Amino acid sequence: MKHDRNRNDAVSATLNAARDLLFPPRCIGCDDLLPPFAKRATVLCALCRTAWETAVTEATADAATDATRGLVYLVHYRPGHAEGIPEKLIYHLKHQGDPRAFGFVAERLAPRLSDAAAALPTRAPVGEDKPILFTYPPRRRSAVREDGFDQARRLAKAMARACDGDFAAVIKRTHRKAKEQKALNAEERAVNATSSYILADKAAMIVRDRTVVICDDLCTTGATLNRCAALLVEAGARSVILCTVARTSHGK
């Protein structure tokens, strides 16, 4: 397993270097050119990184409180603030698919997730613990077709690499035509999420007695994440942690 990961990391580094030659990296905040061939994932110039770190600091108190309730995240997302660095990053994750962006947030979420996992009241007996399992709520098929990828899946894979965990797609969408969550209010989101997600085949065998992390780019009302968490608990997961890059914050 470790050998496979090392090989995958080497392949990824080679692909990243080739991509930097063909498409020089640019800051997602101001579009300035970034240094190529960076070993650590970077998507922000020095000035925009300062703005990002300020946003992280401003969200720290709320993020710490929410972590005790099982939600780990980095920053607030403010609807309508398209020029903000957190908002630009979320848009980039959702529509651009740059591997650097997923590596950037995974690297910063990993220590917070580690702290949250260590504080869980239900932990496996010594010698019986397994790596944390990372999964995600699948995006609508039409959205995947439009952008060419599922950002939650990519985030879950990046988090699994950053935390030396496992990845598995254990949640799937139903065949019914689901509505877009962003077009619904909180009550409607809960109803829509309940009928939109079910467990994948053999999910119970994979998640039983494990700590599972559900990854997504953004938490607004929590309807989707909570529905998926309920499914995993029903399937026998020991603990479930919700992990997003940002939480929607109105009026901040």
Largest Cα separation within the chain, whole Å, is 50
Contacts of 215 (CB under 8 A, 6+ apart): 134, 135, 136, 152, 155, 156, 159, 243, 244
> Which residues does 79 contact at the CB level (< 8 Å), separation at least 6?
248, 250
What would the mean pLDDT of 38-57 be, rounded to a whole number?
90
pTM of this prediction exceeds 0.95: no
- pLDDT, average across residues 91-106: 94
For range 27-46, the mean pLDDT? 84
Residue 134 pLDDT greater than 70, yes or no: yes
Q: Are the C-beta atoms of 89 and 105 separated by less than 8 Å? A: yes
Residue 126: what pLDDT? 58
Average pLDDT, rounded, for the chain: 87
How far is it, in rounded angstroms, from Cα 185 to Cα 109?
28
pLDDT band at residue 207, thresholds of 50, 70 and 90? very high
d(CA 37, CA 39): 6
Check residue 132 and give its pLDDT. Answer: 96
Of the listed ranges 23-27, 71-75, 121-125, 127-131, the least confidently predicted one is 121-125
pLDDT number for residue 123 = 65
E strands, 114-167, where?
A: 133-135, 166-167
Return the pLDDT at 2: 47
